[in-house]
Each structure stands twice: as structure tokens, then as C-alpha cells.
Amino acid sequence: PMDDKGEKYYLKPMNCPFHHKIFGSKPRSYRDLPLRIAEYGMVYRHELSGTLFGLMRVRGAQQNDAHIYCSEAQFEAEFMGVMNLYQHYFELFGIEKYEMRLSLHSKAGLGKKYVDNERLWLKMEDMVRQAMINGRVPFVEAKNEAAFYGPKIDVQIWSAIGREFSIATNQVDFAQPGRFDLTFMNAAGEAETPLCIHRAPLGSHERFIGFLIEHYAGKFPVWLAPEQVRVIPITDQHNDYAVQVAAQLRDAGVRVQAMVGGERMNAKIRQAQMMKVPYMLIVGDREVADGVVSVRQRDGKRQHGVAVDAFLIYVQDRIRTRSATL
């Protein structure tokens, strides 16, 4: 149990044992492998209060966790499939500054911090090393950073103030399958223990979102922005048209709100700029009369007399293509 000020909590710290139980729930054949079990859900760690740090280090975390059970012959393809998935995500989010770190054991930690089997450690570390080399993925090595059950690739990133974090990990486990008596029948009809790859593509979503906020300094590309468009009427006389424009965009799947009532137009524009909303649509007498909008981008660029349909097509394209620019 997790003890917090005398209160005991029974919370799931990891998914691994449950997935191992699923694998071991019935006889498995080599034809069943690779077997991939994924779970999107919460896990909890009793991090010390002094180590908690915003979204970057929390006690309850949501993650897309998975375990891949495979034979040694399948290992490289499965392991590098995970690495390719990670690189796809980083490219998608425009993340260029990161480091792939091969986290190794230390001999001094065998039987304490690490599973006590030097031969298997060296074998597994070389398998990971060779897979990365064959996949032409640059990496560095760091001793005494492995998981207790095997080596791993940690993806290291840095926060805006220079603190280093692991944003994703790809781990090979040669210990737990044996401890859980997991086996499969190989092609020779013999029982064999599978390898297990632990992977969580974006780590905890809390940490990843925290990193993205810092990475973009709040200036999210339009496809990621929580609010993509804000419609601002010049006066209250233009509120109905602002609401109409917002409804048209919202019906098309755009995240939008109309800022009616309250402050004057200039204050609403300043507020939208502070919130780093990608697009502001200003509507006044001319826009109402012509059925158009004046577009004001977050970067200061402006365009007057834009048809609502034309703007909608444009912004939908930026969203669909996950464009990094406005």
C-alpha cells in the first residue's frame, strides 16, 4: 500500500504484472508471437513531495502503455518498430532536440539494483545496441541507468529552464517473463521463455503536455491549439454575426469561441494575444454587410474581407496537414 500521512492507498503503480497474467492465462505458441498488449490508463507512484514538479513529475499519470512478447529472433524488428514510432511522433510534434540514451547496468549493482545475471545483461545490451546501429538511430550510452530487469532506450529532453527528463522509454525485459513462468512452445515443440518489450510512446501524457507547453512557449500550431479561432465583434451590435460565424466554424470541427459582451474590442484582442490564440476574426459593420471576416493572426499578420467559407477551408487544411505554421 501507499502510505500518505497515515492513510493507506492501494493503487496500481504499473501495468506489467497484469499484462504478464494475460499472457500466461492460456498456452501460447510461437505462432502467437509477437503478442502485443496495450492499455491506456492511469498508474500511480508515491513520488516524494519535494520531487513533485508541475506536470513534469506527478503522482498520478495517464499513459499509453504496452508490452510486446516476442522471441529473440523477432526482437530487433519489434524493438525498432517502437523506435520508429517514437521518431514519427517527435517529427509530428516538431521536436528536434532530444537524445536517445542506451541505459546500461553496472556490475556493482548486480543482485541489488539489477537482476543478478551478468551474461544475460551483456547479451541483451548488445542486442539493443546492434538494433540501434542497424536502424541507423544515433544514441549515447550511460551506465547504471537501466531498469532492474533489462537495458532500455530512454529519450531525454530538456525543459525551458534546462532540467533533463525522460519523455519516452523502450525497455527490454529478460527477467520478469521468467519470474511469472511465461512460456511459449517454439517451432521445435519446446517450452521457451519470451522476451518482453515495455513501451510507452509519449511517456506520461501529463509530462508530455508539460513539455509541449514549454517547447512551444504556449504558441501551439493551430492543429494542437486548445482554442484555434476566436471571433471578436467590434461592438455589441455585431454580436449576433460573431456568434453565427463561430457556429459555422464549430459545426465544421474547429475549436472556436465568440467573445461577446464584456470588455471593449481592444481588450478582447489583447486577451486573445495573451492566450496565444492562432487566429482572431474581427467583425464589424463592413464584415456584417459583406458576409466576411477580418483575419488577424497571432504573429500579427492581417487580411481583410475574407469570406468565411474561404477561411474555413484554409484553417481546416492547416489542421488536417498538422502544419507547423499559421
Same domain, 132 and 22: yes
Could you give the residue numbers annotated as active site? 16, 45, 63, 65, 67, 152, 198
Are 28 and 163 members of one domain? yes
Q: Quick check: is 224 in a domain?
A: no
Asked if residue 245 and residue 212 are part of one domain, the reply reads no
State whether 129 and 43 are in the same domain.
Answer: yes
Q: Is the pLDDT score of 214 beyond 90?
A: no
Q: Within this chain, do residues 38 and 86 fall inside the same structural domain, yes or no?
A: yes
The answer to whether residues 233 and 284 belong to one domain is yes
Average pLDDT, integer, range 208-223: 91
Domain of 109 in residue numbering reads as 2-216
Assigned domain for 25 exists = yes
- Angstrom CA distances, 64 to 20, 68, 81, 192, stand at 17, 13, 16, 28
What integer pLDDT is reported at residue 276 of this predicted model?
A: 96
Answer with the one of 191, 216, 241 that is the final residue of a domain: 216
212 and 281 fall within a common domain: no
Please tell me the distance from the alpha carbon of residue 26 to that of residue 69, in angstroms, as a whole number.
14
The interaxial angle of helices 118-134 and 72-92, nearest 10 deg, is 50
The CATH number of whichever domain residue 33 belongs to comes to 3.30.930.10
- Within-domain flag for 286: yes
Round to whole Å and give the CA distance between 158 and 233.
Answer: 41
Q: What is the pLDDT of residues 285-316, one digit of tens each?
A: 999 999 999 999 999 999 999 999 999 999 99
Q: Mean pLDDT lowest for which of 27-36, 88-97, 103-112, 282-291?
A: 88-97
Burial class (CB in 10 A: 0-12, 13-18, 19+), 180: middle
265-290 exposure pattern, b = at least 16 Cβ within 10 A, e = fewer: beebbeebeeeebbbbbbbbeebbee
Of the CA atoms within 13 Å of residue 146, those in its CB half-sphere come to: 28
Do residues 169 and 200 touch, judged by C-beta distance below 8 A? yes
Position 207 confidence tier, pLDDT thresholds 50, 70, 90? confident
Instruction: Mark whether 29 and 166 lie in a shared domain.
Output: yes
Q: State the average pLDDT for the chain.
A: 93
Q: Is the pLDDT of residue 161 over 90?
A: no
Do 265 and 232 contact (CB within 8 A), yes or no?
yes
Rounded distance between C-alpha atoms, residue 43 and residue 258, angstroms: 38
d(CA 314, CA 28): 52
Q: List, for residues 112-151, the tens digit of each pLDDT value.
A: 999 999 999 999 999 999 999 999 999 999 999 999 999 9
Instruction: State pLDDT tens for residues 14-73.
Output: 899 999 999 999 999 999 999 999 999 899 887 877 877 778 788 888 898 999 999 999
Q: Are residues 115 and 234 in the same domain?
A: no
Same domain, 99 and 238: no
Beta-sheet pairing, 279-283 with 229-233:
parallel
Q: How many domains does the chain have?
A: 2
Q: What is the pLDDT of residue 106?
A: 95
Co-location of 167 and 196 in the same domain: yes
Q: What is the CATH number of the domain that holds 281?
A: 3.40.50.800
